[in-house]
Amino acid sequence: MSGVIELLEHKTVPVHSATRWYYFGGITLFLFAIQVITGILLLLYYRPTVAEAFESVRFIMTRVEFGWLIRSIHSWSANLLIFAAFVHMFSVVFTHAYRKPRELTWLSGIVLLGLMLGFGFSGYLLPWNQISYFATKVGTDVAASAPLVGPAMGRFLRGGDDVGAATLTRFFAFHVMILPIITAGLVMFHILLVQKNGMSTPPWVSPSGVRQMRFFPNFFLRELMVWYFALAILGVLAAVFPWELGDKADPFASAPKGIRPEWYFLAQFYTLKLVPSHVWIFEGELLGILGFGLLAGSWAVLPFWGMDRTGAARTRLVTGVGVVLVAYLATFTVLGYYK
Amino acid sequence: MRAPAIVFLLASIGLFAQGTAKNTCVDCHAALDGDTQRPALLIKNDVHTASGLTCVDCHGGNRNAEDPSEAMDRAKGFIGKPARTAIPKLCARCHSSPDFMRKFRPQQRVDQFELYQTSVHGKRLASGDDTVATCIDCHSVHDIRAVKDGMSPVHPLRLPETCGRCHADQHKMAKYGIPTNQLADYRTSVHWNALKIRGDLSAPNCASCHGNHGAKPPQVDSIAAVCGSCHVLFAQLYTKSVHEPIFSAASGGGGCIVCHSNHAIHQPSTAMLVGPKAVCSQCHEAETPGGQVAAQMAKWIDGLDSALKHSEAVVTSADKYGMEVSEAQVRLGDGRENLVKARLALHSFQPAEMRKPIEAGMAIANETLRAGQDALHEKDVRRMGLAASVVFIGITILAIWALIRRIESRGVSTQDHI
Amino acid sequence: MELNDGSTGCCGECGSPPQQTRRSALSWLLGAGVSASLASFFYPVLRFLNPPHVTEAAVNEVAAGKVQDLKPNSGKIIKFGNKPALLVRVSETEFKAFSAVCTHLNCTVQYQDSTRQIWCACHNGTYDMNGRVVSGPPPNPLEEFAVLLRGDDVVISRRA
């Protein structure tokens, strides 16, 4: 404990043109904490069975005092959390904070991003409404079409051959126990590494000439302001745009028109839609999934790219790829939304 | 000599073996053209064909004979094209025989001919008028389909236009002096709308009220009973009301159709009670007790309807804000039921009967209005709570910012170097 | 770093009255802001933790009164979810329950003790005690619900 206090007393944050981006790690952490708290509260009333899931969410929204608030905050914060995680990752890319000695921090961060997406995917099914049921169907179908491991992965995710009661139980287990335990460990690891390595400075700033701001109290107070502001945003979203209940899932009904996954999966979804059904001898969807796998794999080892080049050339390469990736994700998310 | 004999024998055996499956009527007639060809082409769609019956079962003749004079030998029972006046009896040869029909459709009725003979069509045909409807005019001929078949001319959706082929034709009806506006009127009715647009096959077509084989306009004193076969409660109230003896046959009246029309039955509304298009005012002047009852009932119904509509609007707007109002929405359904009951009670023509559902309905309208208003108020409370919270957050943020400024203006907490 | 009384002991800029007032005003504002905002966060959470009186979440099940409330060969309408349901006591021991929404045009049906059938007043549709259409315009049967007797209480629930 005293070690932690000493660490905090000496921790500093460099002040330069990109300092504002340092907030996003904290924002992501803060929103995750909100998810944990509101998630635990929801757990007091949620019932994870096909017969009662939808009704228990309805109960929370209508009968439990401030249930509408807790649930809406949980749903909105989930979306804001994933967005913040992406911003945090891209800010690390463009300030080049992944460089030695922070490779493990980057890697653990990528895994954490994957875990956040896993939280989003598993949590989405729990209200058991039409949209969540069919979005999960589509999502698990895509996973099951991966080469070699696809069908096994599909069965593992779904708890069977179809999305149903077994899937709900399984997703509930992922969402409230398995993913949280893994995330807790990894977050601690990630933060410890950040403290150990200190805050990085972007390559265009000279490390010796830069002004440093004390983390405590100066940066911390600023961070508090940002977190409070995030709370205000969440409150407005929850009160003015309460999250809807939807219709109870009916597996025998046809999928709602224009069913599509949540926005954070839209770019991949739309890309898969665009890929032609057959490219030479390969199935289009298979190629698409392989492509994503390759992209994710290379992205994870970003710190090790272009080791043969000079520092400046490597920096330019990563910045270039980063810009293209952001543009691709942004464009295809928008396209996936409107098409 | 032996070989040809054997060939001949074999050929005959071959011919014989095939003989039972032969239908030379269709074989020859399909090769002709125009009216003599048509039956041969249509017959494969005929419901009789599916039961194994063929041309000879109605027309007589020999289906195995290649030679026309042998196939269509009148001496051997060939009828040829029957006279129109002979058609019903021809069909009845089988369709009125329980023993015969039992072999194919045990449950099918066998009294169609008997009914037909009581109908206007049947009576006129018997007196020699062969322009009236016979079996084949409604059911078609050679491609007769089951009534349930959507392409049958007597399927509920097509039956009105089949009747209208004659009954909407002024030339045909002129010599009988029958009006020809029924089909057009019926097409404006709620019953046709239910049939055609909503696809509700239980809605009445011409035959539902007039009968099909025994078609005769329902006797005037049975109109309420006919309408009442579906609209049970309305008919019950009406027959116990003051209007029944007045609109009865004895007085030359017409039961339900006096107010509602026979074919052009439109969606009823309070415009029938008061206003320029009112039916009540045709007999009751406004200041008379009857006129006053009409006005009172119209006021009650319109009042309840608009109260329910108002409540519905408020509840729906609360729903749009994300507030939970499903209970109120269910209650509004009960309210609408009371409005239906009030409209039903109207047919007793006694305000006292209508008062109960109106009062119950108004209570529900008020109750749901309050629920909707409470939900809207709750929405406002939420937003005020939000505003308060945002204000506190804003104050805190400002205070932190001021604190930061204070700390940093002193210059003690920033360092120039690591 | 002190927040409350303004004295720092580390430099000479403190102690003069305007600064002190400013400092205490700021501390007060910060304290008030933090407490008020925290209260506005924790108040809903505390209320949330308090379970509501109506504990039954699911509308897969509805309490439909006591056994004694319904005589044999009679029926009553109860709310099931947001639709009406018809509970019929067929005999001393047998209960049946159906959706009370007529499949023709959604009027509410009723039990007819004289014919021991379910009847719709709107267009004379009739259903038997299995929910099947006997006569009239309804196109589909009535959905049947399960009836459970828990001691004295009659409970209607959706069939699995």
pLDDT at C9: 47
Tokens of B314: 């408020």
Q: Is residue A320 part of a domain?
A: no
Which of the four pLDDT bands, split at 50, 70 and 90, describes residue B205?
very high
Residue B399 has its nearest CB partner, among C22, C30, C124, at C30
CA-wise closest residue to B26 among B80, B76, B73, B63 = B63
Evaluate whether A260 touches A266 at the Cβ level (below 8 Å): yes
pLDDT in tens, A167-207: 999 999 999 999 999 999 999 999 999 999 989 998 888 87
C117: phi then psi, degrees, rounded to nearest 5: -135, 170
Chain A residues closer than 8 Å to B415 by CB: 12, 211-212, 214
Tokens of A223: 């961070």
Q: How far is C121 from chain A (nearest CA, A)?
A: 31
Higher-confidence residue: B368 or C3?
B368
Residue at A46: amino acid letter:
Y
Other CB atoms closer than 10 Å to residue A243's CB: what's the count?
20
Residue B392 has its nearest CB partner, among C10, C36, C136, at C36
pLDDT at A8: 80
Q: List the subunits that have 3+ CB pairs under 8 angstroms with A.
A: B, C
Rounded Cα distance, B308 and B94, in Å: 59
Rounded Cα distance, B47 and B148, in Å: 11
pLDDT at C86: 94
pLDDT at B99: 94
Tell whether A68 is within 8 A of chain C (Cβ): no
Domain with A251 in it: 2-257
Q: Is residue A271 part of a domain?
A: no
Q: How far is C42 from chain A (nearest CA, A)?
A: 11
pLDDT at C57: 47
Judge: B200–C104 Cβ closer than 8 Å, yes or no: yes
Query: If you count residue pairs, one on B and one on C, with CB atoms under 8 Å apart, how many are there?
Result: 77
Residues 19-58, chain A, touching C (beta carbon < 8 A):
41, 44-45, 47, 51-52, 55-56, 58
Evaluate whether B294 touches B274 at the Cβ level (below 8 Å): yes
Chain A residues closer than 8 Å to B400 by CB: 221-222, 224-225, 228
Evaluate whether B226 touches B218 at the Cβ level (below 8 Å): yes
Tokens of C112: 């007819």
Q: Is residue B19 part of a domain?
A: no
What is the value of ipTM here, to two decimals? 0.83
Chain B residues closer than 8 Å to C124 by CB: 229-232
* pLDDT above 70 as % of chain B: 91
pLDDT in tens, A29-51: 999 999 999 999 999 999 999 88
Please give the CATH superfamily to which domain C61-157 belongs: Rieske [2Fe-2S] iron-sulphur domain (2.102.10.10)
Give chain B's count of helices (H) and strands (E). 23, 1
Judge: B400–A228 Cβ closer than 8 Å, yes or no: yes
**Residue A255 Cα to chain centre, angstroms:** 26
Rounded Cα distance, A278 and A285, in Å: 8
**Average pLDDT of the residues in B404-408:** 87
Q: Is residue B109 part of a domain?
A: no
3-state secondary structure of B200: coil
Residue A217: asked if its preceding bond is cis (omega within 30°), the reply is yes
Residue B98: asked if its preceding bond is cis (omega within 30°), the reply is no
3-state secondary structure of B67: coil
Tokens of B76: 């051997």
Evaluate whether B95 touches B144 at the Cβ level (below 8 Å): no
Residue C37 has its nearest CB partner, among B344, B393, B410, at B393
Evaluate whether A12 touches B418 at the Cβ level (below 8 Å): yes
Q: What angle do CA C32, A227, A217 make, to 5 degrees?
A: 75
Chain A residue whose CA is closest to C38: A228
**Average pLDDT of the residues in A152-178:** 94
3-state secondary structure of B19: helix
Which of the four pLDDT bands, split at 50, 70 and 90, describes residue A286?
confident
Q: How far is C9 from chain A (nearest CA, A)?
A: 18
**Average pLDDT of the residues in C57-70:** 74
Which of the four pLDDT bands, split at 50, 70 and 90, describes residue B417?
very low
Chain B residues closer than 8 Å to A213 by CB: 414
Helix axes A103-125, A130-144, angle to 10 degrees: 130
Residue at B161: amino acid letter:
E
Who's near B9: CB < 8 A, 6+ residues apart? none
Tokens of C151: 């001691």
Who's near A157: CB < 8 A, 6+ residues apart? A140, A143, A144, A167, A170
Tell whether A8 is within 8 A of chain B (Cβ): no
What are the contacts of A96-104 at 24+ separation with CB within 8 A?
A: A96/A200, A96/A202, A96/A203, A96/A315, A96/A318, A96/A319, A97/A200, A97/A202, A98/A302, A98/A303, A98/A318, A99/A200, A99/A303, A100/A303, A101/A197, A102/A193, A102/A197, A102/A200, A102/A303, A103/A303, A103/A304, A104/A193
A45 exposure class (CB count in 10 Å sphere: 0-12, 13-18, 19+)? buried
B379 dihedral zone (left: phi>0; alpha: psi -120 to 50; beta): alpha
Rounded Cα distance, A217 and A58, in Å: 43
pLDDT at A257: 78
- Residue B304 belongs to a domain with what CATH number? 1.20.140
Chain B residue whose CA is closest to A219: B404
Chain A residue whose CA is closest to C47: A65
Chain C residue whose CA is closest to A53: C58
Chain B residue whose CA is closest to A13: B418
Average pLDDT of chain A, as a whole number: 90
Evaluate whether B325 touches B372 at the Cβ level (below 8 Å): yes
Judge: A41–C49 Cβ closer than 8 Å, yes or no: yes
Q: How far is B101 from chain C (nearest CA, A)?
A: 25
pLDDT in tens, B5-18: 666 665 555 555 54
Q: Is residue B400 part of a domain?
A: yes
3-state secondary structure of B401: helix
Q: What angle do CA B32, B37, B43 make, to 5 degrees?
A: 140
Q: How far is C45 from chain A (nearest CA, A)?
A: 7
Domain with B306 in it: 289-409
Tell whether B32 is within 8 A of chain C (Cβ): no
Q: Is residue B294 part of a domain?
A: yes
CA-wise closest residue to C104 among C119, C89, C117, C90 = C119
CA-wise closest residue to B63 among B99, B110, B29 = B29
Q: How far is A140 from chain B (nearest CA, A)?
A: 31
DSSP secondary structure code for residue A205 in this structure: S
Judge: A70–C44 Cβ closer than 8 Å, yes or no: yes
Evaluate whether C78 touches C64 at the Cβ level (below 8 Å): yes
Which of the four pLDDT bands, split at 50, 70 and 90, describes residue B200?
confident
Q: How far is C93 from chain B (nearest CA, A)?
A: 31
Task: For residue C86, list its beta bridge partners.
Answer: C77, C98
Rounded Cα distance, B261 and B257, in Å: 4
Tokens of A204: 């265009």
Evaluate whether A106 touches A88 at the Cβ level (below 8 Å): no
* pLDDT above 90 as % of chain B: 64
CA-wise closest residue to C57 among B229, A64, B61 = A64
Tokens of B360: 């119950």
Judge: A235–B403 Cβ closer than 8 Å, yes or no: no
Judge: C40–B410 Cβ closer than 8 Å, yes or no: no
**Residue B374 Cα to chain centre, angstroms:** 43
Residue at B131: amino acid letter:
T
In a mutational test of the C interface, the residue from A34, A49, A63 whose CB has the highest number of chain C CBs within 10 Å is A63
Q: In chain B, how many domains are there?
A: 1
Q: Is residue B78 part of a domain?
A: no
pLDDT in tens, B218-236: 665 578 888 888 898 999 9
Q: How far is C22 from chain B (nearest CA, A)?
A: 10
pLDDT in tens, C92-103: 889 999 999 999
Query: b or e along A183-203 (b: 16 or more beta carbons within 10 Å of the residue's beta carbon)?
Result: beeebeebeebbeeebbbbbb
Evaluate whether A231 touches B393 at the Cβ level (below 8 Å): yes
pLDDT in tens, B160-178: 999 999 999 999 999 999 8
Chain A residues closer than 8 Å to B401 by CB: 225
Judge: A51–C60 Cβ closer than 8 Å, yes or no: yes
Residues 209-268, chain A, touching B (beta carbon < 8 A):
211-214, 217-218, 221-222, 224-225, 228-229, 231-232, 235-236, 239-242, 244
Tell whether A248 is within 8 A of chain C (Cβ): no
Chain C residue whose CA is closest to B406: C23
Q: What angle do CA A305, A308, A313 make, to 5 degrees?
A: 75
Task: List strands edge to edge, sheet with C95-99.
Answer: C61-66, C153-157, C144-150, C95-99, C83-89, C74-80
Q: How far is B391 from chain A (nearest CA, A)?
A: 9
HEC states along chain A? CHHHHHHHHHCEEEECCCHHHHHHHHHHHHHHHHHHHHHHHHHCCCCCCCCCHHHHHHHHHHCCCCHHHHHHHHHHHHHHHHHHHHHHHHHHHHCCCCCCCCHHHHHHHHHHHHHHHHHHHHHHHCCCEHHHHHHHHHHHHHHHCCCCCHHHHHHHHHCCCCCCHHHHHHHHHHHHHHHHHHHHHHHHHHHHHHHHHCCCCCCCCCCCCCEEEEHHHHHHHHHHHHHHHHHHHHHHHHHHCCCCCCCECCCCCCCCCCCCCCHHHHHHHHHHHHCCCEECCEEHHHHHHHHHHHHHHHHHCHHHCCCCCCHHHHHHHHHHHHHHHHHHHHHHHHHHHHC
Chain B residues closer than 8 Å to C36 by CB: 392, 395-396
Rounded Cα distance, A117 and A129, in Å: 20
- Residue A60 belongs to a domain with what CATH number? 1.20.810.10
Pairing of strands C125-127, C133-135: antiparallel
Task: For residue C88, list its beta bridge partners.
Answer: C75, C96
Q: In chain A, how many domains are there?
A: 1
Chain B residue whose CA is closest to C12: B410
Higher-confidence residue: B352 or A280?
B352
Q: What angle do CA B337, B343, B345 make, to 5 degrees?
A: 100
